[in-house]
Structure 1
Amino acid sequence: MISHRQMEAVYWVNRLGTFHAAASHLNLSQSTVSKRVQECEALLSCEIFDRSTRHVRLTPAGRSIISLIEQILNLQEEIRHTARDPDHFSGHFTFGTTEMVAVSWLPRLVSAIRNAYPRVVLEPVIDDAAPLFRGLRDRSLDLVIAPRLRGDLGLPHLPLGSVATSWMCASSLYDGPDTLSVDRIVEFPLLIQSEQSSIYDLLTQWFRECDVSINRTIICNNTTAVAELAKAGFGMACLPSTHFMPQVDSGALRIIHTSPPPPPLDFVAAYRNDRMSPICARIADMARAQNDFRPLGSAILS
């Protein structure tokens, strides 16, 4: 009978493409991983991998069994998570969020995870949406909470709801009527986050659909910096409405309405489609219960 360790070696060699990468991931020597794969092949009386190239590839026989191996490993992991007392679940859990989550409800989520899994070591990463989703796909992250980018996500995910956005600026930049056409918006410098952010991705498509060309932009690396530049009168900024309403209420920013309005940010909790899926799905559900994009306090953004 094929053992769990043998199937695990086959799974990670296929997933990562080389014996060296699989050994590094499993914290084993390359020879140990190779031996386990060879043992599996001997038990099945077939070659699973074609080793004639630098990156190993599945043979026809390997392709016919790899999905079954993955299913077995996933079921084994789910059985362990289901049967195990959460107090005994341990290990590192690396997850990514965008800045907006970090300065609003991330502390509540961290507290909920620690209460449910006190022995888990949490490793948060704060970044733009694009690099976070890349980290999820290359498996350097277990879970990502971020606005989804355009196109097919191609990952298991749980919708967390939409966050409306609004154009905002300081009265020192513009003190006219609070409604402008889209082509008037671009007469002002636009304060936009980097090309790696979801808002940049959404706004470029929105302007394209409105048949309006962007003229002047000032690129910032985080939402708070964009808001601060807007408050200082440097340009128009598209910001999460609820999150920055305290700045509007204080008079530091004003909302400028457009037709059509700027696109909302559709947040998701996305996670890996592998043996980490069961624990990731549970934490994604915690994220859905905890999400609230109001700022933690006015001091954070003042």
Structure 2
Amino acid sequence: MNFKQMEAFYWLCQLHSYRRVAERLSLTQPAVSARINALEEDLNVQLIERDTQHFRLTEHGQQVAEYAEMFANLHEAMTSRLDERRQRHLAVGMVSMVTTSWGSLMRDMVAEMAPNVLLDIHSGSNRDLRRLLRAGVLDLAFLTDEADLSRVPNSFTVQYEVGWVGPPDLLRDLEQPLSTKTLRQLPIILYPPSSPIMQSLSKMLHENRARPNARHVGNSLATICEMMRRGYGISAVSLSQVEDEIADGKLVLIETTEPIAPLNICCVHLNRARKAQVQKIYEIAERAAREWCEAHPRFLTFMSGTPS
């Protein structure tokens, strides 16, 4: 097994066409087929269903596809490190709560304090960022504790208060605080299963039972907040994301009898191969997080080092 075989298989998984892969890699179609066949022989498994009209991976093929993506990401990361023209770039992974809060301040401060560095921001869920970490793509990463990764020693933490919020029209005739039973009667906007909030919400709302009202799903925090603004239903969100709407009365903070635990975000990765440069950016990130929390203290708490 070699990289060229994995590269051909990766692009076949992406493009679903031998012809398009051949064009992408400047090869002939027989050459692409030969690489795929050689990979199957080396692994002693069939990767592609050949008795169907459309492209389809076997169960083994689906497993190998994940590793092929890691190979491709590792190759890109390695070539980026070795290319002097790209040494200025530094990849930072952050969950969306960071991207839409102190992440923007961090970006601006890096531009001012380290003008020789260009930040490449990768925003996603814990699961998305874990995959990039495994592939060696990221230089720094800020995830929630639910990612189940060891935090960088003495990492700062930003605690995000989580609560129920909804449009005023849905809540006008309800007496607060609301019980979990009452919440279940309302239309609710839920998260994808990969979200750190979704597991706790499912247990709280007993979503395995019959659902008495609509259950919508938003694929990101920004989408969920916009769906609330447009009256789709209520949701449990990081309250700092909707602080202005709550202050303006466009959304209502719901008092409940059962609180939701806050989300803690910390640094879980620093690229040791670029230690000096990465450490400087981490220190700027810590300063940005502290200043942002001081300016937005209602729903955010900054904690230095490892919280007790």
Q: CA deviation at 1:19?
A: 7.5
Q: CA deviation at 1:200?
A: 2.2
Residue in 1 aligned with 2:93? Answer: 96
Aligned length: 211
CA separation of 1:122/1:249 partners in 2, compared to 1, >3 Å: closer, same or farther?
closer
Residue in 1 aligned with 2:116? Answer: 119
Residue segments in structure 1 that go unaligned for 5+ positions in a row: 1-17, 25-52, 55-88, 296-302
Q: CA deviation at 1:219?
A: 1.0
Residue in 1 aligned with 2:21? Answer: none
Of Structure 1 and Structure 2, the greater helix share is in 2
Q: CA deviation at 1:135?
A: 0.9
* Equivalent position SS for 2:105: helix
Find 2:149's aligned residue among 153, 177, 202: 153
Give matches, 1:231-250, under 5 Å. Answer: 231-250=229-248
Do residues 105 (structure 1) and 102 (structure 2) align? yes
Do residues 173 (structure 1) and 170 (structure 2) align? yes
CA separation of 1:214/1:202 partners in 2, compared to 1, >3 Å: closer, same or farther?
farther
Distance 1:213 1:277 in 2: 50
Q: Is the 8 A contact 1:139 1:272 kept in 2?
A: no
CA separation of 1:269/1:205 partners in 2, compared to 1, >3 Å: closer, same or farther?
farther
Letter paired with 1:269 = C
Residue in 2 aligned with 1:182? Answer: 180
- 115-124 or 197-206: bigger deviation: 197-206
Q: Is the 8 A contact 1:206 1:263 kept in 2?
A: no
Distance 2:282 2:268 in 1: 7
- 133-142 or 271-280: bigger deviation: 271-280
The alignment's C-alpha RMSD in Å is: 3.2
* Equivalent position SS for 1:247: helix
Q: CA deviation at 1:281?
A: 3.9
Q: Is the 8 A contact 2:270 2:279 kept in 1?
A: no
Residue segments in structure 2 that go unaligned for 5+ positions in a row: 8-41, 44-85, 297-308
* Equivalent position SS for 1:172: helix
Do residues 255 (structure 1) and 262 (structure 2) align? no
Distance 2:139 2:244 in 1: 34
Do residues 196 (structure 1) and 202 (structure 2) align? no
Residue in 2 aligned with 1:270? Answer: 268
CA separation of 1:153/1:90 partners in 2, compared to 1, >3 Å: closer, same or farther?
same
TM-score normalized with structure 2 length: 0.58
Letter paired with 1:200 = M
Residue in 2 aligned with 1:228? Answer: 226
Distance 2:238 2:182 in 1: 21
Q: Write out per-residue CA displacement over residues 91-121 of structure 1, whole angstroms, 9 at most, x where no aligned residue.
A: 3211122333223222321122234432223
Q: Write out per-residue CA displacement over residues 210-267 of structure 1, whole angstroms, 9 at most, x where no aligned residue.
A: x985835311122222122223322111122233122122221111122321121211
* Equivalent position SS for 2:257: coil
Do residues 140 (structure 1) and 137 (structure 2) align? yes
Q: Is the 8 A contact 1:137 1:272 kept in 2?
A: no
Distance 1:123 1:134 in 2: 16
Identity between Structure 1 and Structure 2 (%): 19
CA separation of 1:214/1:92 partners in 2, compared to 1, >3 Å: closer, same or farther?
farther
Residue in 2 aligned with 1:217? Answer: 215
Q: Write out per-residue CA displacement over residues 272-298 of structure 1, whole angstroms, 9 at most, x where no aligned residue.
A: 464245543442332222122678xxx
Find 2:282's aligned residue among 265, 281, 284: 284
